[in-house]
């Protein structure tokens, strides 16, 4: 049977709960925080019932908060249901913000408690399955050069990488900034027979034209003022490996000629040199510009384009990748939680809505940066749209907002209308509304109180 730990200084209440729950759970009891933490380390239950007022501070919530914090340190995924008095509502809500799963007013109604425990156990099972899925995704990402994706377009990209990696033909990668073009190039290199050799990336648009030729092809001693020694270029450094030419559309026309000669003959000349130097380097090129337009405008040689694009791989923008957005967001959530030693568990329903609706002009790079920043700055267990540093993109709900409305006022309106609409759809059933919105029941009550959707007394009566 699933183990359940009850931490409460009231022995009679513990015994009553054990009697009522023993048919469903293997119950372990503790009378104070230290005993409870010791039993938690011994039995590793996934669900805990915790009293806020514990000895030696039975008249305050300090010991209950301490115990909750240490339980979550021991296991960030444990589901803790708080038991509170009628006068401890604010402390109960605070415990939810600290990471508790739910709270109940003493004495708890057994049938209601069983429902909450079952839902907590169900969520715990889902989280375990998600953890296994995340591990599979990470292993898959390692096999694919760090890229993650499940949409048809990305599966096609992965298939193409596998097919072309062992050949030596030039590869041309297209896609917007931030879609992962360098990751594709690196995946091709790591899957190729050249993976023991170097992978050398260079951004052609980040280096001044006057220096780019020397950077790519090297220079002879005395070739220009300051050239005190012969220097190899990136083509030679990438010998027996792969050279990734990012933003190839920014390459000056005179260097396009030299690149074309290398692709045709496999030799280069250093700046100031006359000797042909054979180089065994595979080239992978990428751009985010419209090459057809660049060719038409005379900025890019058509013959070079045909040489570098024997195989073309197009990376779709993030906004066109469907549920990959959530897969990536949750991957980054877990990654940066571990890196920054944080306890952010999930995205709120509003944050998920934002992730789906936002246009992501910076693509995967922007998503990664926003999630990392949000995790570093967040003090709660769930990320909200405001944590991501973005406005909610729900135009149908805010299109009539009058000029001068602040961002906070607009967000509050969206939040209020979303909660109200969902409660109406669920015919006043708070539990179902909470599930539909992806938040806990106490969070719904907190939002209703915040927006005066129902008098507090009525809420307490409904809770009882």
Cα 45 from Cα 52, distance rounded (Å): 19
Cα–Cα distance measured from residue 222 to residue 373, given in angstroms and rounded to the nearest whole number: 48
If you ran DSSP here, which 8-state letter would residue 361 be given? T
Q: Domain-by-domain residue ranges, the chain?
A: 3-134, 152-315, 319-383, 395-463
pLDDT of amino acid 440 = 67
Residue range 239-277, pLDDT digits in tens? 999 999 999 999 999 999 999 999 999 999 999 888 999
Least reliable range by pLDDT among 150-159, 352-361, 447-456:
447-456
- Fold of the 3-134 domain: Rossmann fold (3.40.50)
pLDDT digits (tens, 9 = 90+) for 160-176: 998 998 888 999 999 99
State the pLDDT at residue 391. 44
Asked if residue 336 has a cis previous peptide bond (ω within 30° of 0), the answer is no
The dihedrals phi and psi of 151, each to the nearest 5 degrees, come to -70, 155
- pLDDT at position 405 is 64
Contact 418, 437 (CB under 8 A): yes
Q: How far apart are CA 41 and CA 55, in angstroms?
A: 20
- For residue 342, name the pLDDT band (cuts at 50, 70, 90): confident
Q: 152-315 and 319-383: same fold?
A: no
CATH number of 395-463: 1.10.10
Cβ atoms within 10 Å, residue 307: 18
Residue 397 confidence (pLDDT) = 45
The model's pTM: 0.60
Helix (H) or strand (E) holding 437: helix 430-437
CATH architecture, domain defined by 319-383:
Orthogonal Bundle (1.10)
- Give domain 152-315's CATH architecture: 3-Layer(aba) Sandwich (3.40)
């Amino acid at each position: 049977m699933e183990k359940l730990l009850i931490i409460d200084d009231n022995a009679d209440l513990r015994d009553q709960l054990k009697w009522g729950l023993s048919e469903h759970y293997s119950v372990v009891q503790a009378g104070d925080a230290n005993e409870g933490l010791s039993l938690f380390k011994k039995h590793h239950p996934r669900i805990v019932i915790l009293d806020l007022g514990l000895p030696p501070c039975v008249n305050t919530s300090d010991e209950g908060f301490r115990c909750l914090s240490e339980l979550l340190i021991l296991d960030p995924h444990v589901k803790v249901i708080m038991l509170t008095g009628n006068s401890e509502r604010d402390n109960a809500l605070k415990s939810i913000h600290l990471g508790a799963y739910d709270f109940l007013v003493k004495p708890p109604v057994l049938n209601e408690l069983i429902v909450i425990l079952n839902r907590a156990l169900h969520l715990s099972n889902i989280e375990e399955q998600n953890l296994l899925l995340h591990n599979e995704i990470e292993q898959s990402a390692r096999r694919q050069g760090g890229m993650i994706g499940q949409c048809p377009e990305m599966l096609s990209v992965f298939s193409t990488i596998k097919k072309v990696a062992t050949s030596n033909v030039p590869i041309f990668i297209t896609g917007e900034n931030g879609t992962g073009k360098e990751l594709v190039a690196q995946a091709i290199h790591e899957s190729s027979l050249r993976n023991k050799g170097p992978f050398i990336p260079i951004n052609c648009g980040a280096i001044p034209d006057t220096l780019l030729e020397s950077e790519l092809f090297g220079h002879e001693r005395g070739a220009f003022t300051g050239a005190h020694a012969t220097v190899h270029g990136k083509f030679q450094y990438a010998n027996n490996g792969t050279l990734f030419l990012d933003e190839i559309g920014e390459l000056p026309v005179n260097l396009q000629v030299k690149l074309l000669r290398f692709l045709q003959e496999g030799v280069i000349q250093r700046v100031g040199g006359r000797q042909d130097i054979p180089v065994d380097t595979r080239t992978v090129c990428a751009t985010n510009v419209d090459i057809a337009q660049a060719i038409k405008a005379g900025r890019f040689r058509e013959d070079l384009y045909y040489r570098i694009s024997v195989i073309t791989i197009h990376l779709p923008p993030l906004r066109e990748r469907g549920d990959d957005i959530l897969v990536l967001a949750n991957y980054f959530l877990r990654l940066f939680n571990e890196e920054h030693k944080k306890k952010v568990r999930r995205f709120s329903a509003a944050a998920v809505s934002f992730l789906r609706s936002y246009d992501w002009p910076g693509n995967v790079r922007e998503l990664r940066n926003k999630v990392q920043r949000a995790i570093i700055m967040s003090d709660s267990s769930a990320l909200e749209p405001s944590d991501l540093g973005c406005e909610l993109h729900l135009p149908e709900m805010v299109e009539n907002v009058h000029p001068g409305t602040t961002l906070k006022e607009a967000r509050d309106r969206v939040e209020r209308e979303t909660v109200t609409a969902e409660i109406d759809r669920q015919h006043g059933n708070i539990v179902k509304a909470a599930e539909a919105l992806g938040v806990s029941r106490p969070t719904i009550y907190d939002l209703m109180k915040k927006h005066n959707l129902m008098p507090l007394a009525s809420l307490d009566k409904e809770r009882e």
